[in-house]
């Protein structure tokens, strides 16, 4: 019997929790001591939009009636307004490619590219929320947040979008000083990728691009007569000797990867290549450290 969407959602969440918990717990605590701006809500000790209570003050002309704390006022000779501490939200925006080609996996890997991409996105979201950050999924209709409900909605959305998403993230404007982590195979034309990423990089958005490939896509290990089928189309190629294509294929892949690396460098972003044949913890730890380092650079000015 096939798994239901609800079952898949909880399984993705469980595996992401397991992956996140494998990292050293003191990583978050150490960074919190080293740099207080790791928190998603950085208190400024001034009133404004925020979720943490700061102070009560007397009601004055122009204040919203909804801001009056009637219970507190009933025990005072003044009408009191509840003020929350102003906070600057640093949101981590995540995108895991849901294009049909991400469902590929060869005999050299135990997981599909899509499964690994979603797992990394959710695990990074869990780590970020534990550190106080807000997280959101690029392209999702749900608002970013920092609660367990936010993580559940993200997992549900990824499960629902499986195999039906676009090959590149939508060019939506992101808030200033936020961070974007884009996870996919990024095998589209470099000009198309550059156009989309340049739009996302506006407003001093920190970016991290993770190219996830199957080991077979990196090495082309096939021998002899081999038929290659387009994963999401009708294209096919019959190779009499697949090994004869290897050198040219790997040269093309190197050009693509170096193009991605150069694009990330020009945008002030980072680029990481990840194989589904390697442990997910390695790239997750690297990504989290990059996000933490970015907070140290932009947190004071946000």
Write out the chain in H/E/C secondary structure: CCCCHHHHHHHHHHHHHHHHHCCCCHHHHHHHHHCHHHCCEEEEEEECCCCCEEEEEECCCCCCHHHECHHHHHCCCCCEEEEEEEEEECEEEEEECCCHHHHCCCCCCCCCHHHHHHHHHHHHHHHHHHCCCEEEECCCCCCCECCHHHHHHHHHHHHHHCCCCCCCCCCCCCCCCCEEEEEECCCCCHHHHHHHHHHHCCCCCEEEEEEEECHHHHHCCCCCCEEEECCCCCCEEEECCHHHHHHHHHHHHHHHHHHHHHHHHHHCCEEEEEECCCCHHHHHHHHHHHHHHHHHHHHHHC
Domain boundary residue, one of 87, 120, 148? 87
Q: What per-residue confidence (pLDDT) applies to 274?
A: 96
Give the pLDDT confidence of 126-149 residue by residue, as tens digits: 888 877 788 999 999 998 998 888
Same structural domain, 52 and 168: no
Residue 200 within any structural domain of the chain: yes
Same structural domain, 77 and 101: no
Highest mean pLDDT among 45-54, 75-84, 85-94, 110-119: 110-119
Residue 113 within any structural domain of the chain: yes
Q: What per-residue confidence (pLDDT) applies to 299?
A: 46
Same structural domain, 28 and 71: no
Q: How confident is the model at residue 287 (pLDDT cuts 50, 70, 90)?
A: confident
Asked whether the whole model's pTM tops 0.75, one would answer no
Residue 240 within any structural domain of the chain: yes
Q: How confident is the model at residue 90 (pLDDT cuts 50, 70, 90)?
A: confident
Whether the pLDDT of residue 195 is over 90: the answer is: yes
Residue 194 within any structural domain of the chain: yes
Same structural domain, 121 and 58: no
Residue 131 within any structural domain of the chain: yes
Same structural domain, 141 and 289: yes
Angle at Cα 157 formed by Cα 269 and Cα 134, nearest 5°? 50
Same structural domain, 193 and 296: yes
Q: How confident is the model at residue 171 (pLDDT cuts 50, 70, 90)?
A: confident
Same structural domain, 63 and 104: no
Domain boundary residue, one of 25, 59, 87? 87
CATH number of the domain that residue 289 is part of: 3.40.50
Whether the pLDDT of residue 28 is over 60: the answer is: no
Task: Give the least confident one: 30-34, 109-113, 232-236.
Answer: 30-34
Same structural domain, 27 and 54: no
**How many separate domains does the chain show?**
2
Give the pLDDT confidence of 71-87 residue by residue, as tens digits: 888 888 888 877 654 34
Same structural domain, 210 and 66: no
Domain residue limits at 60: 44-87
Same structural domain, 227 and 251: yes
Mean pLDDT of the chain: 79
Which pair of tokens denotes residue 107?
């005999």
Domain boundary residue, one of 60, 87, 114? 87
Same structural domain, 191 and 55: no
Residue 231 within any structural domain of the chain: yes
Whether the pLDDT of residue 29 is over 50: the answer is: no
Same structural domain, 15 and 52: no
Residue 39 within any structural domain of the chain: no
């Amino acid at each position: 019997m096939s798994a239901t969407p609800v079952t898949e959602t909880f399984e993705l969440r469980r595996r992401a929790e397991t992956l996140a918990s494998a990292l050293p717990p003191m990583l978050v605590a150490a960074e919190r001591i080293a740099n207080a701006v790791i928190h998603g809500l950085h208190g400024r000790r001034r009133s404004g939009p925020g979720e943490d209570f700061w102070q009560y003050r007397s009601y004055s002309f122009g204040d919203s009636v909804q801001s009056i704390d009637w219970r507190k006022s009933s025990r005072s000779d003044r009408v009191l307004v509840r003020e929350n501490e102003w906070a600057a939200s640093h949101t981590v925006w995540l995108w895991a490619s849901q294009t049909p080609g991400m469902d590929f996996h060869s005999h050299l890997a135990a997981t599909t590219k899509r499964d690994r991409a979603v797992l990394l996105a959710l695990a990074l979201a869990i780590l970020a929320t534990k550190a106080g950050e807000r997280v959101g999924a690029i392209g999702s209709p749900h608002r970013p947040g920092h609660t367990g409900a936010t993580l559940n909605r993200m997992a549900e959305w990824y499960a629902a979008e499986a195999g039906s998403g676009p090959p590149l993230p939508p060019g939506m404007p992101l808030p200033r000083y936020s961070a974007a982590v884009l996870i996919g195979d990024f095998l589209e034309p470099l000009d198309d990728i550059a156009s989309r990423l340049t739009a996302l990089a506006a407003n001093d958005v920190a970016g991290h691009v993770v190219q996830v490939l199957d080991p077979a896509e990196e090495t082309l290990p096939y021998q002899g007569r081999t038929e290659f089928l387009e994963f999401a189309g009708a294209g096919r190629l019959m190779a009499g000797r697949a090994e004869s294509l290897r050198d040219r294929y790997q040269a093309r892949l190197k050009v693509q990867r170096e193009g991605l690396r150069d694009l990330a460098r020009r945008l002030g972003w980072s680029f990481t290549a990840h194989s589904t044949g390697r442990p997910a913890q390695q790239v997750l730890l690297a990504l989290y450290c990059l996000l933490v380092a970015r907070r140290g650079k932009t947190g004071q000015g946000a």
